[in-house]
Structure 1
Amino acid sequence: MSLRFLPRWLTHALLLFTLLVIAAAGYGYWFLHASLPKLEGNVTTEQLHSTVTIDRDAQGIPTIGGSNRSDIAFALGFLHAQERFFQMDLLRRNSAGELSELFGILALNHDKAVRVHQFRKRALRAFQALGPEDQTLLKTYTAGVNKGLDELGKAPFEYALLRTPPKPWQVEDAFLAMFSMYIDLQPELSEYERSLAVLRDSLPADWYAFLVPEGGEWDAPIEGPAYVFNDRLPTQPLAQLQIPQDAEATAAVYQDFVAVGSNNWSVGGSLTDYPSGMIANDMHLGLNVPNIWYRASWHLPADKRRVTGVTLPGVPVMVVGSNEHIAWGFTNTYGDYQDSIVLTVNDAGDAYLTPDGWQPFTTEIETLKVKDEPDETLAIKHTIWGPVIGEDHKHRPLALRWVAHDPEGANLQLRQMEAANSVDEAIQLAANMGIPGQNLNVVDHDGNQGWTIAGRLPKRVGFNSERLSSKYPQDWSTGELHWDGYLSAAEYPKVINPAGSRIWTANARVVSGSMLDKIGHGSYALGARQQQIAKDLNSKTLFSEQDMLAIALDDRALFLSRWQQLLLNLARENSDIQNAATLTELLENWQGRASKTSAGYLIVKRFRENVIGASTGRVIQKLDEDTDFFDPVRASVYLEYPTWALITEQPAAHVPEGYRNWQEFLVAQANRTLNDLTENGKPLREQTWGEANTLAIRHPLSGAIPLLGNLLNMPGQPMDGDTYMPRVQKPKMGASERMVVAPGHEENGIFHMAAGQSGHPLSSYYALGHRDWVEGNASPFLPGPEKWRLTLSPQ
């Protein structure tokens, strides 16, 4: 029906509504457009010593040119604020326990849990402990941030949605951004130690040793041998330790866990076409819009070098990258950087026992501001070792000793990597870096390569047996156990120019013996991913950048191949398995990799999860139901070893509860897998890995915007890759960046980054580069040709 046949009042109403929609859309566009960053022109400021140029390429990647490092820091702060201020704000609020001021009551529990660390006070103390040069650099960076925020025509759009104005950046906020990385990479409430203690005290000794081994055949350290898994079967029947069969529906389902971590590997100059070594690095973190990293490149005229890589918005240093003399990358070590301390408390509960006798608790009151609600207060008890973080499973109070709590835990020493000339220099610098403990892999232009720990390592005293291991909460009141400061650079574990000219790390155990003792026996990842990288490296004798990228994209299912064979044999030999013919066909053609088009891969993966979840996993689930502050994910990391031993040996004494024998159990898990996968009504052939592994990379506020919110997110594309392989990929987690570079040959380097450089949805480069990350295309490490030039001038 045309408008001329409608009543006049309705025609006018429709026209008015249309005009209002157009006006609203126009206002929305104008409002958003006003907060776009400046790409061209000139900005004057009092804080600069000389003119700085910012040349952006088509992807928005800047090359900063300045006469000194301080001016470059100002320009980097300016860029971070213009492109990513809301992200920076979330980072500082996350670790400070101040998210409730933005999000209200929804964030209050998080803030209460984090505020016990009082990171804002620690961040200010870390700033005050810096030398004059670093303090000046951080002040200049902070001025750059606030200048960048002021130069926006409107505040970032997120603040309009939240109805809250942005707060200026402060010098200590850089360390709050860094403390957010501590929270991401290390258990901030000592969950791993507390969980191990629960397992040790709740299980028979032989079962504890069986379920929580140090490692096994999947180990692939760069120094020392793989551990041998002790497959001696425990005496008490497995069924007696499990959740009863009729309670299974209430138990958590076991799923593969991808540790927040990374891959890196390198080869020496003898294995490249250059004199230099070559390194690859991909850091695995949660995937959001925008990406956690901000790409940047800058020239240091005094040193005649260019520094290129990724920065963390909020911090004025290059995190990983190359300076034309060295190139470096990080992976999370999962070492032991904290100890939980069992406190002996007097009857009144107001004092605790120390080596010097009874000491009263000191208490500090923190005020939490909650949007649209009254302020809340939090009383934090302190000991000589650290804050009280709660109780253990025996209801004994615990204090926390953590590197992150000390001034040594946060500094700007990482920026010295920008001027390092050799592997030896970089290794020396690493020992004094105030960052969460990382595996540092570094190569130089002369062909050398090296590994060490970047970040402070505590010098523990008295921890010399399984009973007094730092893996568990311990009583420090006698003085027998304590930290005697931190290891010196000379005492640090290191591997330089190993015989095979290859180094690899992937969050699993890297070294053995005394070197491992210094890092600590932490919650290392199962070594399958690390082992696959090692195999890839040892399959060739000469490497190009494309060869290194191929390792990063290796999604072969080596780890699951024996599970595929197990399930295939079951399908061929058991008439009790549903749809056995189709299952057999899909398994025979499973592609042997985590392919988005493979149904067989998804079936094998879910079958393994169900087998573990219904056997050894039900022991972990039972403890999780019965205990507070128990982390079933970390406690389950090594269940592959005992589970595989049980299903291959099939001991009658350890048949899981509710089954007559192991064959019946395995067939039941196969059928359960098929039923679970087809619950959605689709046939088994259409249950592909890509359906389960579809990207969900979202802006944190996209769900709060009706109809248009999804435009902030990256496309939901099915992806190759998975857990136990170099190409780690989950819907919301994976390689936040991929880098391959040989120092001195950066023009041939490769770089990928999920999402884009900008946090602004109207930016022309909001998602540029994302497709290369998705498809694995070899995109350049260095920024491309200049498209926009912005000049910052002294006033």
Structure 2
Amino acid sequence: MRLVTGLRWIKRLTVLVSLALVIGLGFFYWQLTGSLATLDGQRLGLPLHADVTITRDQQGLPTITATTRPDTAFGLGYIHAQDRFFQMDLLRRNSAGEMSALFGAVALGYDQRIRVHQFRQRGNAAVNALPQAHRDVLHAYTLGVNAGLSDLRNPPFEYSLLGVEPTPWVPADTMLVLYSMYLDLQPNWNEQEASRAAMLDLLPADWFNFLQPEGGEWDAPISGTPYVYAADLPETPLAQFSTAPDPLAYRYADPFDVGSNSWSVAGSRTRYPAAMVANDMHLGLRVPNIWYRATWAVPGHDRSISGATLPGTPAMVVGSNEHIAWAFTNSNGDYHDTILLQTRRDDSEYLTPDGWVPFEIQNEVIAIKDAEPVVSAVKRTRWGPVIGRNHNGQWMVMRWVAHDPAGANLMLMELEGVDKAVDALPIAAQTGVPGQNFVVVDKDGNQAWSIMGRLPRRAGEGFDGRLPMDWSTGTHFWNGYLTPEEYPRVINPATERIWTGNARMVSGADLERVGTAEYALGARQQQIRNRLLQNQVFTEQDFLDLQMDNQAIFLERWQALLSAVLAQPNSAELADAQQYVDNWAGRADKNDVGYWLVKRFREKVINATAGEVFRYLEQQAPNVFVTSHINRMVEYPVWQLVTEEPAAHLPAGYTDWTTFLRAIAFEMVQELTQNGGEPLAQHTWGRHNTLAIEHPLANNIPLLGRFLKMPAEPMHGDTFMPNIQRPDNGASQRMAVAPGHEENGIFHMATGQSAHPLSPFFDRGHRDWVEGQPSPLLPGETRYRLRLLP
């Protein structure tokens, strides 16, 4: 009897536990679905001039129809908030230094550092500097964001996980989103200038000159000529810089150039009268994507505009308005300077052209989740904030375009009604964004390049923007910004082609205006140029094929070198490697072992040669010398070393260069096969280039976090080629379009429109991006319709 009673209680308990589990899961699901966007129906009583209609296709691509530009912005803000508010929140907090309010004390160090820029203050100043028409649009966008957020039944799911409430959007937050792009695309602390100065002071002149070439055979400017690399070998032996082994010291790896590809061809090179432009912007890959696709009717201009928007802002970033189409790549020009201060009275005063003046100290209050606020002091000067000390202990100040009201604005919106490519150039010159290569084409077949973003007017004889300088005498200063007429321009070049890939674009006086900062090597840009010159007529598919080009032209000479090294009598391990190297695919193919071996061989050779100098500098100037900002041209000196084989610069421990290179090859194979315990056959490029695209919170959610990740799949592509691809970096989007023929346009975007894992648009379109299959720029058939009413 007791046994029967016990079994009954066990059964009842099991039922109760199961019921509780079902109820719990049901409640969790109800909570989660409460933060899904509203796709159909209508919403009454909104602050609008007239009705706004938002339709979406099966991929979630919205089309906004409104009668005024502010109403359009309201609609865009509404859907941005419903699909992406947490992403927008992270972007504003990232530049404002307000992460600790979300994540707690773990983010305090970052917030304290970023508060030096005081971007929230600067954002308010930038808003106040906007013309009234732009403020009206921004105000409407802000109202739309907050309406979209409040219309969710529950806040975005991320806030439930973090245990905090979202805070409403304010106009300055939009400027903070733009400042986050500055932080992503430009040096945050003038690392390049400080590192270059350390090199100049700490290295013999022969090594400084050797490791700082301006360019060479990989250059491919659209105006001017390539540099000729002809450096003398240093006299000072390389062994002088050898340092004690340190597992944390610098180790060379190919840099990922955050920046992008873009190119265009004239109308005479397409099947239309219209010119055609392509763009793929290289950024970190996350869930959700940085961009949000949209189309809207442009009020008062009888046209629609389609492309990519940036959640948190009301403008189209890249796209086509049926008359012009435009694209961006990071220009890598010089948009900042480092000022060296003379100080006295225990560093309480600094010297200016007006004499000694005290530093201004402002306190920034940082809110921290589950803790008391922390006050962080910011030391300011008339030129900008103090950012630290250089390798000699001298205080440094940062002068940055991003710190001025002109550095952030909404001029991008003015492109919506432009008809001709040449008329877009003055708008680009006045737009407050991180400096970009701006490529624009029109339906009449014209094309043009210039810089988008403000260019500082540097004044004073001998002003070298590449090095920190003393401004205390008044000899050197910024005298405002260049006028649009002073900007470098290339309009309808004789080649009938324009190409950009983050490398140097121009020469002479034009280059002086743009400045020299962190140009990419140029191999990718050159490969694009050569591909464009090989064909006579292009379609959108041709442009997509070029975007997916992963031929390893840059590494061909390294493959030949490694093949020759492995051809010498060697061990069984090297014989196996030789087979893969000799038969490599010649491209960054995910199934190829040879490509990975060639790539690693080059990296290890650089690390064992120029790397010795970089490690020495790192040791001599800790916390100042940042190699990633100084080694983009290292290919030139290292290739000279391995081809000329100077005995004075043979790495320590080797009798000749052949022995050294064979030892590097052997070490590489040993690392792959012995430390990993797997044969070379398993070390394909795809194994080392497997996607890791995930939501920022994915790894903090047990079990369910995997639903916030894109599939981990091996990928073609790498650096130094058009098809840029790394596990969590690469082409955030791909576009190819001829204005007036948008129906044939192509647009890819990694991940999907919505950040919500239960949304039908969470990963819609991602497969096309992975596989390089064409997908349309324009939205398809309407599946959902939402009306926003006054």
Output the TM-score relative to the length of structure 2: 0.98
Work out which of the residue numbers 713, 723, 741 in structure 2 matches 1:727. Answer: 723
- Residue number in structure 2 paired with 1:556: 551
- Residue number in structure 1 paired with 2:251: 253
Residue 662 of structure 2 is aligned to residue 702 of structure 1: no
- Residue number in structure 2 paired with 1:491: 486
- Residue number in structure 1 paired with 2:214: 214
* 1:158-307 alignment, distance < 5 Å: 158-244=158-244, 247=245, 249-307=247-305
- Residue number in structure 1 paired with 2:424: 426
- Residue number in structure 2 paired with 1:382: 380
Q: Distance in 2 between matches of 1:490 and 1:496?
A: 13
- Residue number in structure 2 paired with 1:593: 587
1:105-148 CA distance string (max 9 Å, x none): 11111111110111001001111111111111100000000000
Q: Distance in 2 between matches of 1:698 and 1:80?
A: 19
Q: Secondary structure at the match of 2:199?
A: helix
1:236-268 CA distance string (max 9 Å, x none): 111112324xx1544332111112111000000
Q: Distance in 1 between matches of 2:248 and 2:731?
A: 33
Q: Distance in 2 between matches of 1:578 and 1:10?
A: 65
CA contact (8 A) 1:463 1:470 kept: no
Shift, 1:581, TM fit? 2.7
Shift, 1:372, TM fit? 1.6
- Residue number in structure 2 paired with 1:103: 103
- Residue number in structure 1 paired with 2:577: 583
- Residue number in structure 2 paired with 1:788: 784
Shift, 1:547, TM fit? 0.6
Q: Distance in 1 between matches of 2:208 and 2:491?
A: 37
Q: Secondary structure at the match of 1:451?
A: strand
CA contact (8 A) 1:620 1:635 kept: no
Residue 71 of structure 2 is aligned to residue 71 of structure 1: yes
Shift, 1:478, TM fit? 0.5
Q: Secondary structure at the match of 1:504?
A: strand
Q: Secondary structure at the match of 2:371?
A: coil
Shift, 1:578, TM fit? 4.8
Shift, 1:9, TM fit? 4.6
Q: Secondary structure at the match of 2:512?
A: helix
The 3 A distance-change label for structure 1 pair 303 and 12 is same
Q: Distance in 2 between matches of 1:567 and 1:491?
A: 48
The amino acid of 1:30's aligned partner reads W
- Residue number in structure 2 paired with 1:739: 735
Q: Distance in 2 between matches of 1:614 and 1:9?
A: 72
Of 72-81 and 295-304, deviating more is 295-304
Shift, 1:22, TM fit? 2.2
Work out which of the residue numbers 530, 540, 561 in structure 2 matches 1:566. Answer: 561
Q: Distance in 2 between matches of 1:609 and 1:211?
A: 16
CA contact (8 A) 1:593 1:601 kept: yes
1:202-247 CA distance string (max 9 Å, x none): 1111101111111111111111111111231000111112324xx1
- Residue number in structure 2 paired with 1:336: 334
The 3 A distance-change label for structure 1 pair 574 and 240 is farther
Of 348-357 and 331-340, deviating more is 348-357
1:751-794 CA distance string (max 9 Å, x none): 00000000111001100000000000000011111000000111
Q: Distance in 2 between matches of 1:47 and 1:220?
A: 51
CA contact (8 A) 2:250 2:627 kept: no
Work out which of the residue numbers 771, 774, 778 in structure 1 matches 2:770. Answer: 774
1:694-713 CA distance string (max 9 Å, x none): 00001001111101101111
Shift, 1:370, TM fit? 1.2
Q: Secondary structure at the match of 1:579?
A: helix
Q: Distance in 2 between matches of 1:68 and 1:269?
A: 33
- Residue number in structure 2 paired with 1:545: 540
Q: Distance in 2 between matches of 1:730 and 1:533?
A: 19
Shift, 1:20, TM fit? 2.9
- Residue number in structure 1 paired with 2:645: 650
Residue 401 of structure 2 is aligned to residue 406 of structure 1: no
The 3 A distance-change label for structure 1 pair 304 and 692 is same
The amino acid of 1:159's aligned partner reads Y
The amino acid of 1:598's aligned partner reads D
- Residue number in structure 1 paired with 2:345: 347
Work out which of the residue numbers 609, 619, 635 in structure 1 matches 2:613. Answer: 619
The amino acid of 2:610's aligned partner reads T
Q: Distance in 1 between matches of 2:641 and 2:58?
A: 56
Q: Distance in 2 between matches of 1:91 and 1:765?
A: 22
Q: Secondary structure at the match of 2:170?
A: coil
CA contact (8 A) 1:366 1:377 kept: yes
CA contact (8 A) 1:210 1:230 kept: no
The amino acid of 1:223's aligned partner reads S
1:123-177 CA distance string (max 9 Å, x none): 0111111111111110000000000001001000000011000000001110000
Of 565-574 and 592-601, deviating more is 565-574
Shift, 1:197, TM fit? 0.7
Q: Secondary structure at the match of 1:747?
A: helix
Shift, 1:657, TM fit? 1.8
Q: Distance in 1 between matches of 2:299 and 2:251?
A: 56
Q: Distance in 2 between matches of 1:70 and 1:14?
A: 58
Q: State the percentage of identical aligned residues.
A: 53
Shift, 1:347, TM fit? 3.0
1:551-600 CA distance string (max 9 Å, x none): 1000000001111111111111232x552332122112211000000011
Q: Distance in 2 between matches of 1:578 and 1:631?
A: 39
- Residue number in structure 1 paired with 2:132: 132
Return 5+ residue gaps in structure 2 as ranges: none
* 1:8-27 alignment, distance < 5 Å: 8-27=8-27
CA contact (8 A) 1:276 1:447 kept: yes
Q: Distance in 1 between matches of 2:486 and 2:572?
A: 60
CA contact (8 A) 1:578 1:671 kept: no
Q: Secondary structure at the match of 2:387?
A: strand
Q: Distance in 2 between matches of 1:772 and 1:6?
A: 58
Output the TM-score relative to the length of structure 1: 0.97
The 3 A distance-change label for structure 1 pair 704 and 596 is same
CA contact (8 A) 2:69 2:299 kept: no
Q: Secondary structure at the match of 1:172?
A: helix
CA contact (8 A) 1:287 1:732 kept: yes
Return 5+ residue gaps in structure 1 as ranges: none
Shift, 1:90, TM fit? 0.2
CA contact (8 A) 1:364 1:379 kept: yes
Q: Distance in 1 between matches of 2:573 and 2:490?
A: 53
Residue 528 of structure 2 is aligned to residue 533 of structure 1: yes
- Residue number in structure 2 paired with 1:673: 668
1:488-535 CA distance string (max 9 Å, x none): 011000100000000011111011100000000111111011011001
Q: Secondary structure at the match of 1:149?
A: helix
Q: Distance in 2 between matches of 1:93 and 1:656?
A: 47
RMSD of Structure 2 on Structure 1 (CA): 1.4
Residue 760 of structure 2 is aligned to residue 759 of structure 1: no
Q: Distance in 1 between matches of 2:85 and 2:559?
A: 47
Residue 502 of structure 2 is aligned to residue 504 of structure 1: no
The amino acid of 1:769's aligned partner reads G
Q: Distance in 2 between matches of 1:595 and 1:348?
A: 59
